[in-house]
């Protein structure tokens, strides 16, 4: 199972978009406080559209609470400070995959990253770009994990309706 972890997210629209992505790919969304918004805000639900009630979302008071309640999981830390590219890990389909992203203004704190150097991953970018939008980053990495796992249980084909214009 895929787990998306947001460490202290600040923007409700990003979190709403990420929630919608989680519903589309069957992922659990974990939110580590403090949050920069309330979960009942209109902006978060607008971005998540009518999918928010289908989302498995869990909240934690801090990172230690998250670790404790999830039995100290193996976590891939998505950060611009990583040495490894996000497509490099195997992301086995027989294990829970946790991908953690930091808050929009500062990323994941270095005191956390120091313990996860070997499982830290990055999305390649041109050198003069600081970072991508958080919800875009989550979508990129989430679908890479799913690709590694063979998109099991996913609808793989669409169908045109052949409307006459």
Q: Is 102 assigned a ligand-binding role in the annotation?
A: yes
CA distance 138 to 78: 9
Q: 139 and 95 in contact (C-beta within 8 Å)?
A: no
Residue 75, strand partner residues: 98
Phi, psi of 96 (to 5 degrees): -70, 135
99-104-107-112 Cα dihedral, nearest 10 degrees = -70
Q: Is 123 assigned a ligand-binding role in the annotation?
A: yes
Q: Is 140 assigned a ligand-binding role in the annotation?
A: no
Known binding-site residues for S-adenosyl-L-methionine equal 102, 123, 131
Known binding-site residues equal 102, 123, 131
């Amino acid at each position: 199972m895929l787990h998306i972890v947001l460490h202290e997210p600040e923007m409700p629209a990003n979190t709403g978009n990420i929630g919608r992505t989680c519903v589309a790919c069957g992922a659990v969304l974990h939110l580590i406080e403090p949050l920069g918004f309330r979960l009942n805000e209109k902006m978060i639900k607008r971005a998540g559209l009518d999918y928010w009630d289908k989302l498995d979302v869990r909240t934690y008071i801090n990172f230690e609470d998250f670790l404790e309640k999830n039995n100290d999981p193996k976590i891939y830390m998505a950060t611009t400070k990583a040495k490894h590219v996000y497509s490099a890990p195997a992301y086995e389909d027989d294990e829970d995959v946790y991908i953690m992203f930091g808050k929009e203004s500062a990323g994941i704190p270095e005191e956390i990253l120091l313990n996860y150097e070997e499982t830290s991953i990055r999305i390649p970018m041109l050198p003069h770009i600081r970072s991508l939008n958080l919800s875009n980053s989550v979508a990129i990495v989430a679908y890479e994990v799913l690709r590694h796992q063979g998109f099991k249980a996913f609808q793989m084909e669409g169908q045109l309706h052949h409307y006459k214009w």
